[in-house]
Amino acid sequence: VRCMRGDDSRVIVIAMDQPLDGDRHVRKQMGNAENRAKRQSSRFQGLDIYGLQKEVHKHLWNLQFCIDGRYGGLLDLMNYLKNDRKLPYLDPENSSRFYTLANMITLNGVYLYQYLIREGYDPLIIQNYSLTDIEGLLVDRPMAICISSTFVYLDDVLEMASRIKTLDPEIPVIAGGILIKKVLDAGSDLSDQTLEWLSGFYGKVDAFVVEAQGEITLVRLLKAIREKTEWDKIPNLAFYGEGGKMVFTPRQVESTPIDATAISWDKIPKGYLRKALPVNTSRGCAYRCRFCSYHRLFPKVHYKSLDVLRDELRLVQRLGTVSHVRFTDDNFTANKNRLKSVLDMMIKEGFDFTWSSYARASSVTPELVRLMKASRCEFLNMGIESGSQTVLNNMDKRLERAQAMRAIRMLSDHGIWSEGGFIVGYPGETQETFSETVDFIEESGLPYYQPFLFYYSKDMLVHKDRDRFGLEGLGRAWRHNTMDSSEASALISQMIERIDCGFTNGLIGNWETFRLLRGEGYLPGEIFELSRLKRDLQLAMGRSPLDRGFSPEAERILRKLEAIIG
């Protein structure tokens, strides 16, 4: 019997861990990837995945601008200018005066808040771990701390859990979320290596919730903690038994109806709200892109009913403070009939907020674009993935290059901003197919692009093609018959120079930055101009090293940036 403390209903949920500035953000991502490559290196003979990973990182730095040895994206540059040309060190006290993605909110936290309240708990959501005085919160001795891995890396889960246990070893720490589900999904079939790595969490994380949804499991576990009863009858758990051996309880898929996940925004404490809010309208994906593992978790699509969605959006509107809604669905536009009904409903309601979402280029039709514009769509983020039809076919993307080109032009003609995500290095990629992608971005006039280095995991369908492509490695350290990840990352690092009509914010997404700056009152055209000037500055600084001060050209660009930031 687990006899931990559990004398009240306060539950702390850590929903996100977004470093405060770009430099820390990128270093953290890279540090985690290098740790993983180092851990896994013994599995690969003849392929130095740790060395490859470090090579990749050396190239990717070129996408960032660098001042005083610190790297960053557009927000960091804006903070530098706002702070009299000194890059500020952001902390929980000063962060609200600057631009940082850490100030945003995510749906997982808001949803868990609502769910736990309904179940009779007293949740406190930490929207961002980096902004929180965790020590101060532990003084009230919550009954449990839950870490959602959806926006938190596993190395960080371990770090947070260790810190919490050092401060108060009696407070149960529970980790759940999509990443935990992916890593622990194999249950008792996990490799010895993974089990050994998980043994490092012993004494730090008390239980893992191994389920893609997980809220029902979480509440059962909280009840068991409160009532001091056994955990082994609760499905979907992994915890440490006798001698630290990992115990897995049987699986039971949770199927919370999607309508039940609608947020009652009027009941969410004001402190959790922002001017740009996330709203979800569906779950799952019917496509089977071979580089994606999301469809394995949610293979069927479920849509919120139109009435429930209308009510939820009306609540957002009635808050009176929201200027932008980000639809978080992985594929908001995939079903054209459904999309048409949603857009018709939004137009009829006449909502004041603008919106953005992920979209499939293949579902952008003239009629839908007109409806999107009329319903105040402002930004679409499309996974275009490649400008090469051969690579698109290898990916089973079910997208024609010409279709993607038409979609971008139609959106531009209607004044809707768009971003295309491109995977560089997918099996079959060559210098020539990469050039086709660069040409595609230039010809289409795509306003924003985001390059991603191909990520290899055995959860993806591409794993089944590994013999055909000679694919080996892990994560961002791989090679296949036509390229390795060092070469692919070197190609990515050239994009900023080669493409002069579309803009990337390097390793920090354009869409997140756009959304945050819209919430801060910047107009879409101003955000585009800021991105353009940031690229110009990066190129000017590359031509003239900063230790000799800003060149007259860089100085001119900085003044233009200052004029927009005000």
Q: Tell me which residues touch ligand SF4 (CB under 6 A).
A: 285, 287-289, 292, 294-295, 330-331, 383
Q: How large is the angle between the packed helices 485-498 and 524-543, nearest 10 degrees?
A: 110
Q: Name which of 80 and 303 has its Cβ closer to ligand SF4.
A: 303
The half-sphere exposure of 510 on its side-chain side, counting CA atoms within 13 A, is 35
Residue number with CB closer to ligand SF4 (132 or 363): 363
The tokens for 343 are 């857009």
- Give the shortest CB-325-to-ligand SF4 separation in angstroms: 20
Q: Based on CB atoms, which residue is closest to ligand SF4, 110 or 292?
A: 292
Instruction: Using the minimum distance from each CB to ligand SF4, give the nearer residue, 22 or 425.
Output: 425
Q: Work out how close the CB of 382 gets to ligand SF4 at its nearest, in angstroms, rounded to a whole number.
A: 10
Query: Whole-angstrom Cα distance, residue 283 to residue 295?
Result: 10
Nearest approach in angstroms of CB 34 to ligand SF4 is 26
Q: Which CB, 61 or 294, lies closer to ligand SF4? A: 294
Contacts for 473 with CB less than 8 Å, ≥ 6 apart: 44, 47, 49, 52, 456, 479, 485
User: Least distance in Å: CB of 439 to ligand SF4?
Assistant: 23
Q: Tell me the CB-side half-sphere exposure of residue 278, using CA atoms within 13 A.
A: 19
Please, which residues bridge with residue 174 across strands?
146, 207
**Whether the Cβ atoms of residue 149 and residue 180 lie closer than 8 Å to each other:** yes
The distance of closest approach from Cβ of residue 331 to ligand SF4 in the complex, given in angstroms and rounded to an integer, is: 5
Query: In angstroms, what is the minimal distance from the CB of 199 to ligand SF4?
Result: 33
Query: Would you say the C-alpha torsion 184, 189, 193, 199 has a positive or negative sign?
Result: positive
Give me the phi and psi of 508, to 5 degrees please.
Answer: -115, 115
State the Cα–Cα distance between residues 390 and 372, nearest whole angstrom.
Answer: 31
Q: CA gyration radius for the chain?
A: 24
Question: Measured from the CB atom, is 164 or 364 closer to ligand SF4?
Answer: 364
Nearer to ligand SF4, 80 or 440 (CB): 440
- Min separation Cβ 399 and ligand SF4, Å: 9
Q: Which is nearer to ligand SF4, 287 or 327 (CB)?
A: 287
Residues paired with 353 in a beta bridge = none
| Structure-block tokens of residue 373 | 């514009």
Distances (CA, A) of 322 to 114, 306, 520: 19, 21, 11
Say which DSSP state 231 is in.
S
Choose between 295 and 480: whose C-beta lies nearer to ligand SF4: 295
The CB-of-212 to ligand SF4 minimum distance in angstroms stands at 14
Nearest to residue 419, comparing CAs of 275, 337, 515? 515
Report, in Å, the least distance between residue 109 CB and ligand SF4.
22
The answer to whether 217 and 235 are in contact (CB under 8 A) is yes
Taking alpha carbons only, the member of 507, 289, 495 closest to residue 391 is 289
The smaller minimum CB distance to ligand SF4, of residues 157 and 289, is found at 289
Q: Record the tokens describing residue 419, joined without a space.
A: 């971003």
Q: How far is the CB of 355 from ligand SF4 (least distance, A)?
A: 19
Residue 366 three-state SS: helix
Q: Which two tokens stand for residue 4?
A: 């931990």
